[in-house]
């Protein structure tokens, strides 16, 4: 009889694990069943803002593989509309509810992958459950936002100016809505330092987004079950539609109830091979915590690319191979219309929390040679350890072509390079692509000059 | 009395050295004189194709700093139209000819920087000195090409399909000329391997460039001193204008005559601080040879970004600081209309020459998430050492956004990463910027899979 692998959660991490395990072990050796409570498998949640903004035409475009594909091409039984409601790790069984019928049943496993994803943080604000207030985590959320738009929504309020909030602001602007963004911090994008966040604020204002910074949402005005306005900063903002961009947390409740150890971040704890501390139970994706290679501390970062990699690692190991997930350095990228934003490593407050003594530089340069058409402004911030000059983190805000340079810095960070080492690197140069000194090199050079001067503020 | 620094060559390397030395030592401590035989200082030779193509409007746009700026802002005496014709290293003197008047004079130095640049290789083909046959190394070359164009040239033949040849092909296409490219190799861009070069050939054909691959130029048909056609491959190609893209070599003749040691590549030999073996004599830029960090061998690569860095290093050291140039990994980037091309490290023939046993992968993926508007094809080739999986080199051909990814690979190469380490890196992901696995990671993953299978060609 084949071994049986059950997967809880049918998105990036879960289905990567399932596919990789299958690649290495045929159906005769390994039976694979995946349970997904939603209506879709393996979709790009990161694509939802572009679907709503009209840049992506069909919801189906965001689905990489349907349950039919998994069944026919991979012999994986992917059951949508099936929610795992309990895990019995002692007897290696899960309890499943078929959502439509309410029927419950049990399935036994030899190996289990927990890939339950993230869930939106819903601040305990009165009225937050009203109609017209949406998360944007799942394709089902996307459908309900679209329904609001087609129902004639004209004024959108977004609560929280993180990545999702900003991408949804762009989407609504593209759809012609009046958009207001409410953020309790004094800047959008709090994963950036203040001066870099202010560049993002400028970009938002430029595309006509109303910015209410430093304001907390106190409540929602709800009429007949539907939101009519958002109360914030002592005033009221009319809203036909509200989106919550207030972040997510690991959806680790199911694992926790089953006694699977949870880390300090709220994510399921795993080793580098994605094994939990419970025999036969693995975990991957937004529900786990991972290792930050700069702070050397656990972090929970919900991001499709990590979920894919972690799922793949779990699947290779489940299939009899050997793979490890090496942790993260906190790289992220986004755009608001023509302004690109990226970061990696630690920002100033994170560096402080991690106990580093550090200095920083902010350098403005150009995406291309100054004389080449389309050369536009980009700003790079580097943070480096005082005693050694080792790079700790970076942030970029700029025009087209700016943000992907964060990957060069992430690679340098991964290798624990100093700013002195970085400034000498052989990065590509041609006028359509870069000034003769790439902006990354210019920033490293300035940081090294500051380091040589002992990071004094002398002119 | 101040010390005296003389600089031979007033372009990127020489003027970077002069400026950096000045920054650290005021005019009272250091007198700086730079000699430039051409008519311009500190210009971007790399920008010439874009000037000719009409993307850059004015020749002056390519000049970063004029002699007047050097004099007024930096107290640097930059003498254009002055050619250094001899160096007496024993008595620390140079002989200078004022080109226009023919007057010769001597100047003494305490420190000397040789920054004489590169010179075009002119194959010994009968007729190559005819009018209408141009190099594209200097702004003066640009002026003479422009004069040919304004004189009604309609048919351009480019000899040599390297970076300059390709960029000039684009420029002439933009100006509406009939363009033929003659290359003796079976592919354009021989710094790439054959299958990647073929992608570049496709791009050239697509914009209407006539490609004569595997054909050698045998001669030029010259009428009244002016080129009329190019004889190649047994036939004749009518030409109003010919551009030589046949590469360059270090212009190290002056240094060699002065007894300054030259390396096996023909470039002036220096240490990491850019000192030659002759006391008081430094060298920087296209005239020197540098250290290749992958092959561990000297190479001569003419590129503005290296010249700038080396000049800066020399200048810091001359100014009393301490700096070193850490060598190169052979990174380069270019574009032909909408197709971007980049490479770093060793290609297959270079890896073979350097004595590596290696395997390679060629992976096609996408510049953005497949569903995002503007997602287009890009191809990544990775070359890795067989025994260790260490990355040795990479090549990229693809649509907008493809080529600058070479910098991520160059940074990985700089740090001697293996493909296994690269595949796990935390590179940025969002649908407008990348598929959920960045193309660099996909290529590294495939290379690692091949390595695990022992690089067999099993399906």
> Of B401, B412, B428, which is closest to A342 when you measure between CB atoms?
B428
Burial (CB count <10 Å: 0-12, 13-18, 19+), residue B230: buried
Residues B394-443 pLDDT 10s: 999 999 999 999 999 999 999 999 999 999 999 999 999 999 999 999 99
Looking at beta carbons, which residues of chain B come within 8 Å of A47?
369, 371-372, 431
Q: Angle at CA A224, nearest 5°, toward A223 and A227?
A: 45
Residue A240, φ and ψ in degrees, nearest 5: -90, -15
Q: Cβ of A428 and B406 within 8 Å?
A: yes
- Report how far residue A21's alpha carbon sits from residue A188's, in angstroms, rounded to the nearest whole number: 41
Domains A133-246 and A332-449 share a fold: yes
Q: Give the residue numbers of A marked as catalytic.
A: 46
Q: Cβ of B426 and A328 within 8 Å?
A: yes
Give the CA count within 13 Å in the CB-facing half-sphere of A412. Answer: 30
Q: Cβ of B411 and A401 within 8 Å?
A: no
Q: Give, for A12, the enclosing helix (H) or strand (E).
A: helix A12-24
Q: Cβ of A426 and B331 within 8 Å?
A: yes
Looking at beta carbons, which residues of chain A come within 8 Å of B344?
426, 428
> Of A61, A332, A335, which is closest to B432 when you measure between CB atoms?
A335
Residues 6+ away with beta carbon under 8 Å from B29: B2, B3
CATH 3.30.565.10, domain A332-449, yes or no: no
Q: Cβ of A426 and B342 within 8 Å?
A: no
- Report how far residue A214's alpha carbon sits from residue B136's, in angstroms, rounded to the nearest whole number: 57
C-beta separation of B159 from B246 below 8 A: yes
Angle between helices B304-318 and B12-24 (to 10 degrees): 30
DSSP string, B393-445: EEEEEESTTSGGGHHHHHHHHHTT-BHHHHHT------TTT--SS-HHHHHHH
Give residue for tokens 């870069």.
A434
> Of A411, A424, A431, which is closest to B309 when you measure between CB atoms?
A424
* Homologous superfamily in CATH for domain A133-246: FAD/NAD(P)-binding domain (3.50.50.60)
Whether residue A272 lies within 8 A of chain B, CB to CB, comes out as no
Give residue for tokens 């050291």.
B317
**Neighbour tally for A320: CB within 10 Å:** 11
The tokens for A214 are 């430093």
Q: Give the 3-state secondary structure of residue B374.
A: coil
Looking at beta carbons, which residues of chain B come within 8 Å of A306?
426
Residues 6+ away with beta carbon under 8 Å from A362: A195, A196, A379, A380, A381
The tokens for A250 are 């690991």
Looking at beta carbons, which residues of chain A come within 8 Å of B55?
372-373
In chain B, domain spans: 3-42+61-118+249-318, 133-246, 332-450
Indicate the CATH number of B332-450 among 3.90.1150.10, 1.10.760.10, 3.50.50.60, 1.10.3720.10: 3.50.50.60
Q: What is the largest CA-CA distance in chain B?
A: 75
Give the pLDDT of chain A (459 residues) as one tens digit per residue.
Answer: 899 999 999 999 999 999 999 999 999 999 999 999 999 999 998 999 999 999 999 999 999 999 999 999 999 999 999 999 999 999 999 999 999 999 999 999 999 999 999 998 888 999 999 999 999 988 989 999 999 999 999 999 999 999 999 999 999 999 999 999 999 999 999 999 999 999 999 999 999 999 999 999 999 999 999 999 999 988 999 999 999 999 999 999 999 999 999 999 999 999 999 999 999 999 999 999 999 999 999 999 999 999 999 999 999 999 999 999 999 999 999 999 999 999 999 999 999 999 999 999 999 999 999 999 999 999 999 999 999 999 999 999 999 999 999 999 999 999 999 999 999 999 999 999 999 999 999 999 999 999 998 888 655
> Of B334, B371, B415, which is closest to A56 when you measure between CB atoms?
B371
Q: Give the 3-state secondary structure of residue B206.
A: helix
C-beta separation of B433 from B368 below 8 A: yes
Chain A, 386 to 405: residues with Cβ < 8 Å from chain B are 401, 403-405
C-beta separation of B113 from B314 below 8 A: yes
pLDDT at position B456 is: 81
Between strands B82-88 and B93-98, the pairing is antiparallel
Distance from CA of A226 to the nearest CA of B (A): 32
- Report how far residue A88's alpha carbon sits from residue A83's, in angstroms, rounded to the nearest whole number: 15
Residues in chain B predicted with pLDDT less than 50, given as ranges, are 459
Q: Cβ of A411 and B425 within 8 Å?
A: yes
pLDDT at position A137 is: 87
Distance from CA of A439 to the nearest CA of B (A): 12
What CATH number does the domain located at B3-42+61-118+249-318 have?
Answer: 3.50.50.60
C-beta separation of A12 from A285 below 8 A: yes
Residues 6+ away with beta carbon under 8 Å from A137: A45, A117, A118, A119, A120, A248
- How many contacts, defined by CB atoms under 8 Å, are there between A and B? 198
Q: Cβ of A305 and B332 within 8 Å?
A: no
- Report how far residue B41's alpha carbon sits from residue A201's, in angstroms, rounded to the nearest whole number: 41
Question: Can you say how many angstroms the Cα of residue A64 is from the centroid of all Cα atoms in its chain?
Answer: 18
Q: Cβ of A426 and B306 within 8 Å?
A: yes
Distance from CA of A421 to the nearest CA of B (A): 8
Q: Cβ of B326 and A61 within 8 Å?
A: no
> Of A61, A303, A371, which is closest to B61 when you measure between CB atoms?
A371
- Report how far residue A347's alpha carbon sits from residue A137's, in angstroms, rounded to the nearest whole number: 26
Left (φ > 0), alpha (ψ -120 to 50) or beta: where does A196 sit?
A: alpha
Between strands B76-80 and B30-36, the pairing is parallel
pLDDT at position B1 is: 85
- Report how far residue A284's alpha carbon sits from residue A273's, in angstroms, rounded to the nearest whole number: 10
Q: Give, for A423, the enclosing helix (H) or strand (E).
A: helix A419-423
DSSP string, A14-48: HHHHHHHHHHHS-TTTEEEEEEESSS-SSB-GGGH
**Neighbour tally for B206: CB within 10 Å:** 12
Q: Cβ of B326 and A412 within 8 Å?
A: no
| Predicted TM-score of the model (pTM) | 0.96
CA distances from A211 to A142, A156, B3 (A): 24, 12, 59
C-beta separation of A242 from A128 below 8 A: no
Q: Which of B23, B46, B81, B219 is catalytic?
A: B46
Q: What's the DSSP call for residue A187?
A: S
Angle between helices A12-24 and A304-318 (to 10 degrees): 30
pLDDT at position B217 is: 96
Whether residue A428 lies within 8 A of chain B, CB to CB, comes out as yes
Looking at beta carbons, which residues of chain A come within 8 Å of B326?
421, 424-425
ipTM: 0.96
pLDDT at position A384 is: 98
The tokens for B213 are 């691959």
Give residue for tokens 């499709």.
A304
Q: Angle at CA B289, nearest 5°, toward B283 and B290?
A: 100
C-beta separation of A232 from A212 below 8 A: yes
Give residue for tokens 């960090």.
B293
Tell me which residue of B370, B297, B292, B362 sits closest to B330, measured CA to CA: B292
Q: Angle at CA A190, nearest 5°, toward A186 and A195?
A: 65
**Which of B368, B431, B441, B453 to substitute to test the interface with A, most A CBs within 10 Å?**
B431
- Report how far residue B44's alpha carbon sits from residue B50's, in angstroms, rounded to the nearest whole number: 11
Residues B54-106 pLDDT 10s: 999 999 999 999 999 999 999 999 999 999 999 999 999 999 999 999 999 99
> Of A331, A412, A452, which is closest to B428 when you measure between CB atoms?
A331
CATH 3.50.50.60, domain A3-119+249-318, yes or no: yes
Between strands B248-250 and A377-385, the pairing is unpaired
> Of A62, A326, A335, which is closest to B424 when you measure between CB atoms?
A326
Chain A, 177 to 206: residues with Cβ < 8 Å from chain B are none
Burial (CB count <10 Å: 0-12, 13-18, 19+), residue B124: exposed
Looking at beta carbons, which residues of chain B come within 8 Å of A371?
44, 47, 50, 56, 61-62
Residue B34, φ and ψ in degrees, nearest 5: -120, 140
Distance from CA of A35 to the nearest CA of B (A): 22
């Amino acid at each position: 009889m084949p071994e049986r692998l059950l997967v809880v959660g049918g998105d990036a991490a879960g289905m990567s694990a399932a596919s990789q395990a299958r690649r290495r072990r045929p159906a005769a050796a390994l039976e694979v069943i995946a349970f997904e409570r939603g209506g879709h498998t393996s979709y790009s949640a990161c694509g939802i803002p572009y679907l709503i903004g009209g840049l992506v035409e069909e919801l189906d475009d965001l689905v990489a593989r349907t349950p039919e594909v998994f069944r026919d091409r991979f012999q994986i039984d992917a059951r949508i509309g099936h929610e795992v409601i309990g895990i019995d790790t002692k007897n290696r069984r899960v309890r499943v509810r078929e959502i439509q019928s309410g029927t419950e049943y049990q399935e036994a496993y030899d190996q289990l992958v927990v890939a339950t994803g993230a869930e939106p943080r819903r601040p305990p604000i009165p009225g937050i459950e009203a109609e017209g207030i949406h998360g944007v985590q799942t394709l089902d959320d996307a459908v309900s936002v679209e329904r609001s738009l087609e129902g004639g929504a004209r004024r959108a309020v977004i609560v929280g100016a993180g990545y999702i909030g900003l991408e949804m602001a762009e989407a609504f602007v593209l759809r012609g809505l009046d958009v207001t963004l409410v953020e309790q911090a004094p800047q959008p994008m709090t994963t950036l330092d203040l001066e870099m966040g202010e560049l993002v604020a400028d970009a938002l204002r430029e595309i006509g987004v109303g910015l209410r910074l430093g304001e907390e949402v106190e409540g929602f005005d709800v009429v007949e079950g539907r939101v009519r306005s958002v109360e914030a900063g002592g005033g009221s903002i009319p809203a036909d539609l509200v989106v919550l961009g207030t972040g997510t947390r690991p959806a680790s409740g199911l694992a926790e109830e089953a006694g699977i150890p949870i880390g300090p971040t709220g994510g399921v704890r795993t080793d580098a091979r994605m094994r939990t501390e419970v025999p036969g139970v693995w975990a991957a994706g937004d529900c786990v915590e991972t290792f930050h290679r700069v702070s050397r501390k656990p972090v929970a970062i919900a991001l499709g690319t990590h979920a894919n990699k972690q799922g793949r690692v779990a699947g290779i190991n489940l299939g009899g191979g050997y793979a490890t997930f090496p942790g993260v350095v906190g790289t992220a990228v986004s755009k608001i219309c023509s302004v690109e934003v990226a970061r990696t490593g630690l920002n100033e407050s994170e560096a402080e929390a991690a106990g580093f003594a550090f200095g920083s530089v902010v350098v403005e340069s150009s995406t291309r040679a100054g004389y080449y058409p389309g050369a536009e402004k980009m700003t790079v911030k580097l943070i480096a350890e005082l005693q050694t000059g080792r790079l700790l983190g970076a942030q970029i805000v700029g025009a087209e072509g700016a943000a992907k340079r964060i990957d060069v810095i992430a690679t340098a960070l991964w290798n624990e390079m100093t700013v002195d080492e970085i400034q000498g690197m052989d990065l590509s140069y041609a006028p359509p692509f870069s000034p003769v000194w790439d902006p990354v090199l210019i920033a490293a050079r300035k940081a090294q000059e500051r380091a040589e001067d002992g990071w004094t503020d002398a002119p």
